[in-house]
Structure 1
Amino acid sequence: MKKMMKEIRSWVFSIGLALVLAMMIGVFVFQPTEVLGHSMDPTLQDQQRIYVSKLSHTFNYEPEYGDIVIIDSRVDRERTFKDDLLDNPLIRLFQDAEEGRNYVKRVIGKPGDVLEFRDHKVYRNGEELQEPYIKEAMLYTSDEKLVVPDEHVFVMGDNRNNSKDSRQIGFIPLSHVLGKKIF
């Protein structure tokens, strides 16, 4: 009986350690996620599975222009470590996660950039962006010049006419950039 209890404890410890390691990898290193919706067509399709490097979020790296990133769209609130834990796929199995708050988008502007939307095109710092990845010409135009604040980015979907992005939700704090698509 004593030997059996020792064996059970060994299994429980091993399984517990594996779960903790899997959770830490998902919070700090990388995690799978699913694209929901058509805002990134044609680059990414609805329900496509992608893998995201969390290292940029863990070490506060600023994403590069054109990076496809996962963002927390709740830009009006501070993001906490608890949010990072609750975003983990292992935790989401056991709780009702708030759906629709994490978006997949492309980085268009970084801190200090001046963005303009004229002639159905995007201009960054006075230069028209060459965007072969967009689905179709953008219908959106504006006379306003936007300056990306420090510690923020501006993101847009590749399907510009069917994307809820920084044009609606505002600038994205770097703390809300949860990771970068790796494959």
Structure 2
Amino acid sequence: MSLQAILGNFALILFVLTIATGVIWFLDVFYLTRQRRARADVALAAFDARNARLMADGVRPDDRGRSALETDLLKQPTWIEYSGSFFPVIALVFFLRSFLFEPFKIPSSSMVPTLAIGDLILVNKFTYGVRLPVINKKVIEVNAPQRGDVMVFKYPKDMSLDYIKRVIGVPGDKIVYKNKRLSVNGKELSYQPLPDYLDEEHLTYSKQFSERLAGAGHKILNDERVPAYVPNPDAFPYRESCSYNLEGFACTVPAGHYFVMGDNRDNSLDSRYWGFVPDENIVGKAFFVWMNLGNLKRIGSFQ
């Protein structure tokens, strides 16, 4: 794994910090604290013996320094104090991000209008099964991704990158995209025209539709200036399961894989170009926008 990939893998960084601070915390609790206590007992015994000799000689000792001496001897070194205090916080964050919910930031417009650039979203990490952190290996089966889910996954061509798209096809499905309209297993999806969508950044309009998939509707965009065909798709695994023509493409989803597309159909690098998402690449199900600093009205559920 390259240095850039390691620095980009926050889960790995958290794992290393959790282990490092945890080792220091346990070492201090079960070993170093006892050593400090033993040294303090020896020093305090010597302090008490000295005071006893002074009293025997008729000198009244000043024993006010005993408490300060004990406190000083039992005090944790600064590096242990900080490590120990950080460990519970880091461990809690690591557990929450690894097994419950993980935050992501939307970096591109491929999921517009459902998700906008700058949306801070939450991803459910256990909906699709419990996976070991860092290596992302599934250990407990829960649910499988369903058509229409918005899913976060590791980009098959670069596992250091997280992508987010909508699940269009599950294992065994036949996906046909013809003239910018989808069919799944021979059944055409229904499309309801909506008012044109204004891209405020580029001041351009796109055709907007409500697309109904798996009994639920979501919004998609089409750019009339962009042709329906897929230019230069990659030679991805199971490429033989797909056929391309000027009107679009047809793909049969292999076992253990998923076909995903962005809602901004003509501005999305997705399964049409680089292929299927293996089950082992899945991160979780996106379900909530918890913040967008540029537009607070975007906060809320989108599923």
Return the TM-score normalized by structure 2.
Answer: 0.48
- Residue 86 of structure 1 corresponds to which residue in structure 2? none
CA change 1:103–1:8 in 2 (3 A) is: closer
Matched, 1:168 2:228: no
Matched, 1:21 2:92: yes
Aligned alpha-carbon RMSD (Å) = 2.4
What is the CA deviation profile of residues 159-181 of structure 1, one whole-angstrom value per residue up to 9, with x for unaligned ones? 00000000011010011111101
Show the 5 A alignment for 1:14-163. Answer: 14-55=85-126, 56-58=128-130, 59-60=140-141, 61-74=143-156, 98=160, 101-130=161-190, 131=211, 132-136=218-222, 139-141=227-229, 142-143=244-245, 144-163=249-268
Return 5+ residue gaps in structure 1 as ranges.
Answer: 80-97
SS in 2 for 1:21: helix
Return the TM-score normalized by structure 1.
Answer: 0.78
| Structure 1 runs of 4+ with >4 Å offset | 6-11, 141-144
**2:165 corresponds to which letter in structure 1?**
K
Bigger Rg, which one: 2
Q: Which has the higher contact order (CA 8 A, sep 6+)?
A: 1
SS in 2 for 1:50: strand
Count matched residues: 161
**1:65 corresponds to which letter in structure 2?**
R
Choose between structure 1 and 2: higher helix proportion.
2
- Residue 82 of structure 1 corresponds to which residue in structure 2? none
SS in 2 for 1:149: coil
CA change 1:13–1:157 in 2 (3 A) is: same
What is the CA deviation profile of residues 125-169 of structure 1, one whole-angstrom value per residue up to 9, with x for unaligned ones? 011123141022684244543111111110000000000000011
Return 5+ residue gaps in structure 2 as ranges.
Answer: 1-71, 131-139, 191-210, 212-217, 230-243, 289-303
Q: Does the aligned pair in 2 maintain the 1:62–1:174 contact within 8 Å?
A: no
CA distance in 2, matches of 1:125, 1:54: 29
Query: Residue 42 of structure 1: CA displacement?
Result: 0.5
CA distance in 1, matches of 2:113, 2:148: 15
Q: Does the aligned pair in 2 maintain the 1:73–1:169 contact within 8 Å?
A: no
